[in-house]
Chains A and B, each alone.
Chain A
C-alpha cells in the first residue's frame, strides 16, 4: 500500500512548517510554490517545482543540472566519432548477411545492402587522442572535455518512437520524459522559470517532426512538463499582456483576483486557492523573467561572437547561449533539439550544414560554462535518437539509413572523465560489441551523476512502480566517471 507518496509528505511538511511559523496568507501563497501533489486526490495540484522528492538525492550529486543536446534525426556515428577503416575497405561491397540477417531495417527494407565507407577523414585529438572526424573541427578542440560512448544501442528504429524511447525509456506513449522525472525528483532552483525548458532549432536535411510528447510529464503532475521557449512570437504561449493592457494594469487585475479569491475563500475554504494564487504570481513574474531571459542583447559582443548567436534568430547557436543563461538561473533540465540530422541522402552536404550550425556553438557552450566555473556542476549530453547504417542509402546522393544496434553519444561536465572513448562497435560499425550502453544505462548514469539511484526512483502508475529506466536492470557506466 504505497499510495502515500512523498508528495503528500511535502504537503504535510509544508503545512506543519506554516503552522509552526505562523505565517500569514501572503507568505502562504509563496510557500505553495513548493510541490504540492495529490494531497486531496480530487483537488487541483500545482505548481512550479520546488524542492522535489524529500528522499532525494540518494547520495551527494556530482552535477546540479543537465543540458541535453539532441541532434534530432540521428547523426551518423560513422562520420563523427566512430572511425571504421574496415568499412572503407569494404566500400560498395555487399554488406555481409551475417550482420544484417534477422535485424530490423527501416527504409532499406527489401533493398540490396552495400557497404558505405566513411565519407570523411578522422584524426586523433587532445591528450587522450580521441578520434574526431573532419566534420567537427570545434569538437576536436574540446576532445579532452568529452567522453564519447561508441557503443550505444536503442530499441526503436523510427524517429518518433525512437525519440520517445530516448526520452522516456519506453516507446509507449504517456510516460514522463527524463526532464520531467528529474525536475520531479530534484525540484527546481528557479523561482521565476520552469524547471524544465525546451528549445528547438532547424537546419540540415528536411527536419523530422518532433512531438510535444517528448517533453511531456506523462503521469507525473503537470508542473513537471517541459515548457518550450519559442524564439519567434511569444517566447511562452500567452506570456504577453493583451493589446491595450499595460503591465501595471495586469498587475492590478491579478491583485484584484487574488483579493476576491481570498475573500471568497473564507467561506469556501478551498485548499487549492493558495496554490492558484501562487500560480498567478509565478505567471506574472514569468511575464518579465522570460522575455528578460530570451533577450540576449545584454550579452557582451565577445560572447555572442563566441557562440555565433544573433539575437532573435532562433538558431542552435542562440539556443546554446540561452541554455547557459537558463543554467545560470537555476533551471534543472535544459533540452535543445536541432532538427536536421536525418541523412538518408546527401550526407556530406547535410553533415556540413549541420556541423556548421552546431559544432562551434556546442564548443562555445562548454567553454563558456567552463570559464564561469559551471561546467563542473553541469552534465552535458550530446547525441541523436539513433545512429546510421554502415550500409549505403542513396536518397539524393550517398547517405545512410536509421540504425539502432550501435551508435555514438557523448557526455561532458561534472563527474565525467573527458578525453576518452568508451565501448566499441564491430569492425563495420554495425553492432555495439564492447561495453554496450543501452539507453537505460545512459539514463541510470545521468541520474547517478545527479545523486539519484535509478532503481530507487519510482512512482506508482497502473499497478507498477514506474521508473525512467524501466523494468530491465540498468547499469551506471562507472568507467566513464571520475
Chain B
C-alpha cells in the first residue's frame, strides 16, 4: 500500500553513499557496530511495519517486527530474527530469496530493499540483533562531553559535541562570521528586527561585547514578539474561525499572553500548564484564563447544516493532532481511524487523549454563532492588556485616595474643587482604559461529553467503547485528579520528568529552538519523532540540551543563550564547494546557514529601515494595506476590508489580522502558514509572487519613499555619503565602489526621468498614509525612492546569513 521507494533508484544509491555517510548511516565496515535505532529501525519501519507493525488489523502472519519480542519469538521452530545467525533468520531468508512468492517485501507492495540495506540487516543479525527502544521514547540522559583535538575552537559544551563529530568526519568547522554578519544574525534571530546602526558600530568597536549584546536582545520586548511568531505557528493562532464564513473570533489577548510569557521568561512547563488548563488552576489569574484560550484556537464552524456531533468529532481530532505535534513531536493524529502503522499509538490512545478535552464548553456556538464580525464563540472574557491593567490599578488607587481626601476636606470645611477636578479626570481616564477591553475566548469546563472510540473514525457509529482521559498506553499511566484525569494532569504529565515524559517533551522543544537558530534541526522532522521521522544527527547533543533545559527548570532564555553563545552558532554561513558537496543540507553544522527571513521579518525590516516601524507591543490585530477585493470570496457576511488609517498601519507583522482563508497576500507570498494546522517549519520559497510583492506592495513602496525622505533630509551633498547612510541602515555596512556606481547610475537616470515628469514623482510620493515631508525636494525624493526600492529588494536585505 504505502510506496516509498519510487524514486529513480541508481541515483538514490549513488547519493546515499556520500550524503548518508555524512549523517551516520555509514557503510558497513567489518568492524563496525550497527546501531539499531539509526540503521535498522528505519528499514523495518519503511518496508515491513505496514503489515508487521503495531496495527493489529493489518498485521499479517501474526508477526510483528516493531517489538523485540515479536521479532524474536518462536514461530514454531524458527524465528524471524535469530540473533547471531542470519541464515537461520526467516526475515533474512525472505529478503534474500529468489522465489517471488516468498520474497519480502512482497513484489506488489512496490517496496524493495537496497543491497546496502540487506547487508546492514545481515550484519546486525550477525552481531546478535541487539534491540533498543525507539530513541524518541527513551528519556534523555546527560552524556559526557566529548574530548576534542582542537579545544581552542570551542566556547562551550555544545561546541565539543559538534567539533567531536566534525573531527571524526575530517571536517573543519567554518571560521567565525564577520562582526556585521554576526550582529545582524543575532538581531534577526533574537528580536526579528535589523540591528540599529549604533549597535552594529559598537559591536565592531568592541567584539568582546557579544554576550552583552545577546543579553540586550534577550531583554528587549522584541524578543517575546520574535518567539511568539514561532509559537503562534505551532498552536495555529489566527483571527478567524477558519471554516466556511471564516468570521473573526476574539483571541488577540492570547497573543499578548504569549509575547509576555516569552519576555518574562516563563518556564515552559508553566507555559504549557496555563495554556492547557489555566482555567482549572485554583484562583486562576486573568492571564491564566487568557492562556487557556489555547484550547479554543482550532478552526470552528457554525455553517448552516453542520451536524454538531460531526464537528465535535472534528474538533477532538484537531486537538489531538495539535497536542501531539506540538508537545509529543508525534503523529498520534494518525490513529483516528486505525492503530498507528509505524508507532505504538493505538486508536484507543487517540480517543483517550481527546477525552482530556471533553469537558470544554464549546458546543454553544453551533446555536449562537452568528454571521457577524466578530462572530460569537462563548465562553469569552473581556480583558485589558497587562500594561493597561497596571495603569488602571494605579488610577484606581489614586482615585480612592482622592476620594478619601475629598471626604476629609469636606469634613474639615475646606474647598474640594481641585480634588473634584482630579477625581473627574481620573474617572475619565479609567473609563478610557476600560473601553480598551478586548474579548477573548477562554476554556471553561462543563460536564464532560462521553467520548467513544469511533470505529474507522466514523462519527455516526456509536458502537465503540467509552474511554476516559488517558495518556498513550505504552508511555505508562498518569497520576490524576478525581474523578477523572483532567487537562492539568495532562500538562503535568507532558512536563514532569518524574511523573511524566518531561524529558521527551524537553527534547522536542530544544530541537525546535535549535532550528530557530540554525535553520535546520538535529532531528529534522520536528513533528514526527516516530518511526517515520528521522533519528537525530546529534543524538547526544540533543539529549544534553534537553537535560540542560530540564535542569534549568525549563528556562528558555537560558537555553537560547547557550545556543547563541556557542562557537558553532558564530560560524560564517559560506559553504565551500567541498562542504556543499559533503553536507548540502548542513546537517553537521560545520557552518551556519543562510536563509531568507520569515514573512513577518521581511515586513518589519522594511518598516524598521525606513523608520516607519511602530514599536508598540501587544494589542488587537492590525490591518495593513491589502489589494482591494481580496476578500470577495468570503461571505456570511460579505467582507469589506478597511486598512488602518493611523499609526497601526506600521506595526510589526505578527500583529497583522490573520484571516485563515485569505491570509494577507504579502505574508502568504513569503510562506507564512494559514494556521489551520500546526506548522513546525515553514517552507522557504522565493516565487515570482514574492518578487512582485517586494517590488509593488504599497507597504514596501511607502517604506522606500519614507526611507528616501530620511536620506534626503540628511542633506548630504555627495551621493556616496547618502548611499552610505542608506546602506548602514539597510544592510549594516557601507557600499563598495561597484555598488555605489550601480546605484548612482540608477539615481542619475531616475533624476533625469522625474525632472522631466515631476507629476510622476508626486504620484510615487502619494503611495501610503504617511504624508510626504520633503515636498520641495520631490524629484530628489522620487529618485532616491527608486534607489531605496533597489536596496530593499536586494537579496542581502532580506536574508539572514
A contact residues vs B (CB 8 Å cutoff): 1-6, 8-9, 12, 39-48, 54-55, 102-107, 109, 157-161, 171-174, 194, 200, 206-213, 216, 221-223, 227, 230, 232-234, 236-246, 249-250, 252-254, 256-257, 259-261, 263-265, 268-273, 275-276, 279-280, 282-283, 286-287, 339, 401-402, 455-456, 458, 460, 462-465, 471, 473
Residue pair B534, A249 in contact (C-beta under 8 Å)? no
- Of B629, B633, B759, the residue contacting A211 (CB under 8 A) is B633
Q: Contacts A4-B16, A41-B585 hold; do A261 and B7 have CB atoms under 8 A apart? A: no
Of A8, A171, A280, which is within 8 A of B15 by CB? A8
Query: Is the beta-carbon distance between B627 and A250 smaller than 8 angstroms?
Result: no
- Residues on the B chain within 8 Å of A273, using CB: 795
A258–B461 alpha-carbon span in the complex (Å): 61
- Chain A nearest CB, measured from B515 CB (Å): 9
Q: Which of B580, B690, B696, B746 touches A256 (beta carbons < 8 Å)?
A: B746
Residues on the B chain within 8 Å of A172, using CB: 677
Chain B residue with the shortest CB-CB distance to A175: B677
Of B409-417, B469-477, B544-552, B589-597, the stretch lying at the interface with chain A is B589-597
**Cβ-defined partner of B305 (8 Å) among A107, A260, A460, A473:** A107
Knowing A257-B793, A471-B1, the reply to whether A3 touches B688 (Cβ < 8 A) is: no
Which of B334, B685, B801 has the most A CB atoms < 10 Å from its CB? B685
- Chain A residues with CB under 8 Å of B123's CB are none
Q: Which one of B27-35, B241-249, B356-364 is at the A interface?
A: B241-249
Query: B749's closest neighbor in chain A, by CB?
Result: A252
CA A102 to CA B532, docked complex, whole Å: 37
Query: Is A44 touching B684 in the complex (CB atoms < 8 A)?
Result: yes
Extra contacts besides A6-B7, A45-B686, A280-B793 (14): CB < 8 Å: A1-B42, A2-B4, A4-B16, A43-B684, A104-B460, A209-B635, A243-B767, A252-B749, A263-B738, A271-B580, A272-B596, A272-B799, A280-B695, A456-B3
Q: Rank and list the top 10 A-B pairs by shortest CB-CB distance, nearest first.
A: A463-B532, A106-B305, A244-B764, A41-B585, A173-B676, A42-B519, A244-B763, A211-B661, A283-B691, A107-B305
B331 adjacent to chain A (CB < 8 Å): yes
Residues of chain A lying within 8 A (CB to CB) of residue B746: 252-253, 256
List the A side residues contacting B310 at CB < 8 Å. 104, 157
Question: How far in angstroms is the closest Cβ of chain B from A452?
Answer: 11
Which residues of B sit under 8 angstroms from A8, Cβ to Cβ? 15
A264-B794 contact, Cβ under 8 Å, with A46-B685, A107-B305, A160-B303: yes
Q: Is B789 engaged at the interface, CB distance under 8 Å to the other chain?
A: yes
How far is B764's CA from A172's CA once the two chains are assembled, in angstroms? Answer: 44
> In whole Å, how far is B178's beta carbon from the nearest beta carbon of chain A?
10
Known: A221-B683, A233-B628. A173 touches B796 (CB 8 A): no
**Is B418 in contact with chain A by the CB < 8 A criterion?**
no
Q: Of all chain A residues, which has the CB nearest B304? A: A107
Residues of A within 8 Å of B11, CB to CB, are: 4, 9, 12
- Of the four ranges (under 10, 10 to 19, 20 to 34, 35 or more), the interface on chain B belongs to 35 or more
Q: How far is the CA of A232 from the CA of B630 in the complex (A)?
A: 10
0 or 1 for each of B634-676: is its CB under 8 Å from A? (1 = yes): 1110000000000000000000000011110100100100101
Inter-chain contacts of B686 with A (CB < 8 A): 44-47, 272, 275-276, 279
Contact B795 A261 (CB under 8 A): yes
A268 touches B574 (CB 8 A): yes
User: Least Cβ distance of A70 to chain B in Å?
Assistant: 12
* Contact status B683-A2, CB under 8 Å: no
Give the chain B neighbours of A270 by CB distance below 8 A. Answer: 594, 795, 799, 801
Q: How far is the CB of B389 from chain A (nearest CB, A)?
A: 35
Q: Are B692 and A238 in contact (CB under 8 A)?
A: yes
Tell me if A4 and B676 are in contact (CB < 8 A): no
Pick from B1, B677, B742: contact of A259, CB under 8 Å: B742
Query: In the complex, which of the residues B342, B532, B628, B691 has the most CB atoms of chain A within 10 Å of its own CB atom?
Result: B691
Distance, CA A249 to CA B782, complexed state (A)? 12
Given contacts A104-B307, A234-B627, contact A158 B244 (CB under 8 A): yes
Q: Is the CB of B301 within 8 A of A158?
A: yes
Interface centre among A9, A55, A222 (most CB of B within 10 A): A222
- Taking the closest CB of chain B, its distance from the CB of A344, in whole angstroms, is 8
A256 pairs with B743, CB closer than 8 A: yes
Q: A211–B668 Cα gap in the complex (Å)?
A: 14
Q: Are A243 and B764 in contact (CB under 8 A)?
A: yes
B688 touches A282 (CB 8 A): yes
Q: Using an 8 Å CB-CB cutoff, how does the interface string of B144-171 with A read, 1 for contact, 0 for none?
A: 0000000000000000000000000000
Closest residue on chain A to residue B739 by CB atoms: A260
Complex CA distance for A227 and B635, rounded to whole angstroms: 21
Which chain B residues lie closer than 8 Å to A269 at the CB level?
Answer: 574-575
12 A-B contacts, Cβ less than 8 Å apart?
A8-B15, A158-B305, A160-B303, A174-B677, A207-B635, A233-B628, A243-B766, A253-B789, A271-B580, A279-B686, A283-B695, A463-B525
Report how far A163 CA is from B634 CA in the complex, Å. Answer: 14
In the complex the two chains form, what is the Cα distance from A44 to B584 in whole Å?
13
For the complex formed, measure the closest distance between the CB of A407 and the CB atoms of chain B, giving whole angstroms: 16
Contact of A42 with B662 in the complex, beta carbons under 8 Å: no
Query: How far is A273 from B686 in the complex, measured between Cα atoms in Å?
Result: 10
In the complex, which residues of chain B have a beta carbon less than 8 angstroms from the beta carbon of A463?
331, 334, 342-343, 525, 528, 530-533
Complex: A4 Cα to B10 Cα, angstroms: 12
Considering the complex, give the chain B residue whose CB is closest to the CB of A158: B303
Asked if B586 CB lies within 8 Å of chain A CBs, one says: yes
B687 at the interface (CB under 8 A from A): yes
CB distance from B644 to the nearest CB of A (A): 19
Chain B 747-762 interface 0/1 with A at a Cβ cutoff of 8 Å (1 = within): 0011001000001111
B8-A54 in contact (CB<8A) = yes
- Against A, the Cβ 8 Å flags (1 = close, 0 = not) of B685-724 are 1111111110111000100000000000000000000000
A268 to B595, CA, bound (A): 12
Whether the Cβ atoms of B46 and A1 lie closer than 8 Å is: yes
B301 touching A160, Cβ below 8 Å: yes
* Residues from chain B with Cβ under 8 Å of A54 in the complex: 8
Contact between B795 and A106, CB atoms less than 8 A apart? no
Which of B246, B532, B665 has a CB less than 8 Å from the CB of A237? B665
Asked if B435 is at the interface (CB within 8 A of a chain A CB), the reply is no
- Bound Cα distance A46, B280 (Å): 47
Q: Is the CB of B593 within 8 A of A42?
A: yes
Q: Using Cβ atoms and an 8 Å threshold, which residues of chain A touch B764?
A: 242-245
Q: Say whether A209 contacts B6, CB under 8 Å.
A: no
Contact of B180 with A by CB under 8 A: no
Give every chain A residue within 8 A of B431 (Cβ-Cβ): none
- Residues on the B chain within 8 Å of A200, using CB: 633
Q: Please give me the residue from chain A that is nearest to B245 by CB atom.
A: A209
Count chain B CB atoms within 10 A of each CB in A261, A268, A275 and give the residue with the most: A268
B118 at interface, CB cutoff 8 A? no
Q: Are A279 and B691 in contact (CB under 8 A)?
A: yes
**Chain A contacts of B5 at CB under 8 A?**
2
Residues from chain A with a CB closer than 8 A to the CB of B668 are: 212
B512 to chain A, nearest CB (A): 14
In the complex, the answer to whether B742 meets A249 with C-beta atoms within 8 Å is no
Q: Known contacts A47-B687, A213-B676; is A263 also within 8 Å of B596 by CB?
A: no
A208–B745 Cα gap in the complex (Å)?
A: 52
A240 x B628 contact (CB < 8 A): no
**Could you tell me if B528 and A462 are in contact, using CB atoms closer than 8 angstroms?**
yes
Chain A residues with CB under 8 Å of B677's CB are 172-174
Query: Among A43, A213, A260, which residue has its beta carbon within 8 angstroms of that of B594?
Result: A43
Is the CB–CB distance between A1 and B25 below 8 Å?
yes
From B3, B246, B307, B745, contact of A458 by CB (8 A): B3
Residues of B within 8 A of A212 (CB): 633, 661-663, 668, 674
Tell me if B214 is interfacial: C-beta within 8 Å of chain A: no
Pair B585/A40 contact, Cβ less than 8 Å = yes
A213 touches B19 (CB 8 A): no
CB contact between B586 and one of A41, A206, A211 (< 8 Å): that residue: A41
Residue from B596, B692, B760, B766 in contact with A44 in the complex, judged by beta carbons closer than 8 Å = B596
Contacts of B790 in A (CB 8 A): 253, 256-257, 260
Tell whether A55 pairs with B7 under 8 Å between CB atoms, given A209-B246, A270-B799.
yes
Q: Which residue of chain B has its CB nearest to the CB of A242?
A: B701
Query: A5-B7, A43-B594 in contact; A238/B695 too (CB < 8 A)?
Result: yes
